């Protein structure tokens, strides 16, 4: 790559700002058949200028998303990523240069885009998403995720569902989620608490293809099997270090040597240090073009949501999957909300209770309350098994709670409790309201 690309735009000929936004403004100011007429007035035009977006992840997808948002004239962007830049990122995470290796991704990406696009403010947070409270997330109108972790997606999803309040449209923060795996990817829009959420769609994520343990233990056929053997079995038997750190070269070298020895014994070729690293960290080769396509789809939705110039994904079609494995294929459909989704099911009801009532009395009342009619309920609060009807030993352990009052059990006004009943396939959520 030539040196010239590293210089900020200001060093070259200045960009004509009017020309830069000419086409974007044209799109916004020219109504089409799907344009909401309300999006054309002055108020709507100005709203877009104050739109605040949060981007989670500044990696392969994140770099694309930040660039696309800035080039779509989003002006107030925050980005969260706690990772630092690794040399292996440079082939596709195009906002980073060799000199940036070791620096925070969020910080470098923000700086790069701000240098290139005049008028955009990007605030970098070199942290994990879990370090922020609800009020932090409430300040945004929209969240876009470019993550490779399902756990992080589930976390932000349940956080945004928690923020969503009935009767307050501003509390609904649309979540646009992009994900890629090799030549495959998906882009989806979640309107928290209204439409199918990440948790509803959990089974759309094929869990990673694992190799049967017995294959690893007895009949390895591929170099990956030898590496998994070193990782899952040899490490456990020999425990060369107290805890495996997949980023520690010494640990990876230990695994690599073990795997290479085993590969030798079975006449298998191809165990290398980098394959060892890739296998234990479950790295699927990232394809730059897949990231570009998925990020473009995500930012397109963000633009539609923020400007109402066209109907966005959400109520109808909400899930676009893309496959570039054999030719190019996309399929867009409406993923239905799961009525028993543990995160977004719309069943949390206020439950009027006397704090001096016993747990038994509360459970008895659930049987007769028309909204519940539960005959054999099990009930839990956060971090507390109040009464579990099954399995039998847990029933025995929690039975003494039945004669305690709600106050004695440490339950508070506004406490959320979850009730399950074997007779029903769904869960019942209640918020206790003390009389």
Q: Is 199 in the site for other proteins (CB under 8 A)?
A: yes
Q: Is 402 in the site for other proteins (CB under 8 A)?
A: no
Which CB sits closer to other proteins, 265 or 326?
A: 265
Pair type for strands 319-323 and 329-333 = antiparallel
Q: Is 279 in the site for other proteins (CB under 8 A)?
A: no
Reading the block at residue 179, the tokens are 């994900």
In the complex, which residues of this chain contact Zn ion (CB under 5 A)? 197, 199-200, 341, 343-344
Q: Is 150 in the site for other proteins (CB under 8 A)?
A: yes
Longest dimension (CA), the chain: 79
N-term to C-term CA, the chain: 70
Calpha distance 370→433 (Å, rounded): 17
Q: 3-state class of 273 per DSSP?
A: helix
Catalytically active residues are: 214
Which CB sits closer to other proteins, 24 or 150?
A: 150
DSSP conformation letters of 291-343: HHHHHHHHHHHHHHHHH-SSPPSSSS--EEEEE-SSS-EEEEE-PPPPTT-TT
Which CB sits closer to other proteins, 216 or 259?
A: 216
Q: How far is the CB of 314 from other proteins (least distance, A)?
A: 7
String marking each residue 202-231 x if it binds other proteins according to CB under 8 A:
xx-x-x-xxxxxx--xx-------------
Among 136, 194, 273, 434, binds other proteins (CB under 8 A): 194
Instruction: From the list other proteins, Zn ion, none, pick the one residue 197 interacts with, judged by a Cβ distance below 5 to 8 Å according to partner type.
Output: Zn ion
Q: Is 366 in the site for other proteins (CB under 8 A)?
A: no
String marking each residue 39-78 x if it binds other proteins according to CB under 8 A:
x----x--x-------------------------------
Binding range to other proteins, per CB under 8 A, among 13-21, 58-66, 266-274, 393-401: 393-401
Among 187, 191, 298, 299, binds other proteins (CB under 8 A): 191
Q: CA of 221: how far to CAs of 53, 214, 255, 364, 375, in Å?
A: 48, 12, 18, 59, 54
Please name the helix (run of DSSP H) or strand (run of DSSP E) that holds residue 110, with its range, or none: helix 105-116
Give the residue among 312, 242, 230 at the shortest CA–CA distance from 271. Answer: 230
Helices 288-307, 60-71: inter-axial angle, 10-degree rounding: 40
Calpha distance 96→108 (Å, rounded): 7
Q: CA of 77: how far to CAs of 186, 202, 223, 325, 374, in Å?
A: 23, 28, 44, 33, 47
Q: How far is the CB of 409 from Zn ion (least distance, A)?
A: 29
Q: How far is the CB of 18 from other proteins (least distance, A)?
A: 26
Among 20, 335, 389, 404, binds other proteins (CB under 8 A): 389
Binding range to other proteins, per CB under 8 A, among 25-33, 121-129, 275-283, 342-350: 342-350
Which residues, numbered 407-426, are part of the site for other proteins (CB under 8 A)? 414, 416, 418, 420-422
């Amino acid at each position: 790559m030539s040196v010239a690309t590293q210089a900020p735009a200001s060093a070259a000929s200045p960009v004509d700002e009017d020309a830069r936004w000419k086409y974007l403004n044209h799109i916004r100011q020219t109504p089409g058949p799907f344009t909401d007429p309300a999006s054309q007035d002055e108020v709507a035009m100005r709203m877009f200028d104050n739109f605040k977006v949060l981007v989670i992840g500044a990696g392969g997808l994140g770099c694309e998303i930040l660039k696309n948002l800035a080039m779509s004239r989003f002006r107030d962007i925050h980005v969260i990523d706690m990772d630092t830049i690794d040399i292996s990122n440079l082939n596709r995470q195009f906002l980073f240069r060799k000199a940036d290796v070791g620096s925070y991704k969020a910080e470098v990406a923000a700086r790069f885009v701000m240098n290139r696009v005049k008028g955009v403010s990007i605030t970098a947070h070199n942290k994990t998403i879990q370090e922020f409270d609800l009020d932090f997330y409430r300040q945004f109108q929209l969240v876009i995720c470019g993550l490779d972790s399902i756990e992080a997606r589930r976390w932000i999803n349940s956080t945004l569902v928690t923020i969503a309040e009935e009767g307050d449209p501003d509390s609904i923060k649309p979540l646009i989620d992009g994900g890629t795996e090799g030549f495959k990817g998906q882009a989806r829009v979640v309107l928290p608490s209204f439409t199918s959420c990440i948790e509803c769609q959990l089974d759309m994520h094929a869990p990673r293809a694992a190799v049967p343990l017995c294959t690893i233990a007895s009949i390895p056929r591929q170099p990956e099997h030898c590496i998994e053997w070193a990782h899952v079995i040899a490490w456990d038997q020999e425990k060369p270090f107290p805890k495996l750190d997949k980023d520690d070269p010494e640990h990876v070298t230990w695994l690599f040597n073990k795997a290479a020895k085993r590969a030798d014994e079975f006449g298998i070729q191809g165990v290398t240090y980098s394959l060892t690293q890739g296998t234990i960290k479950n790295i699927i080769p990232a394809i730059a073009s897949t990231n570009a396509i998925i990020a473009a789809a995500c930012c397109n939705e963000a633009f539609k949501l923020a400007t109402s110039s066209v109907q966005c994904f959400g109520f109808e079609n909400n899930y676009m999957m893309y496959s570039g494995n054999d030719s190019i294929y996309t399929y867009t459909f409406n993923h239905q909300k799961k009525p028993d989704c543990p995160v977004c099911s719309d069943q949390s009801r206020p439950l009027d209770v006397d704090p001096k009532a016993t747990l038994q009395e509360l459970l008895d009342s659930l049987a007769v309350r028309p909204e519940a009619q539960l005959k054999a309920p099990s009930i839990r609060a956060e971090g507390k098994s109040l009464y579990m009807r099954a399995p039998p030993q847990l029933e025995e352990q929690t039975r003494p709670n039945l004669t305690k009052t709600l106050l004695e059990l440490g339950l508070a006004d506004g406490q959320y409790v979850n009730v399950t009943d074997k007779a029903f396939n769904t869960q019942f959520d209640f918020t206790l309201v003390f009389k």
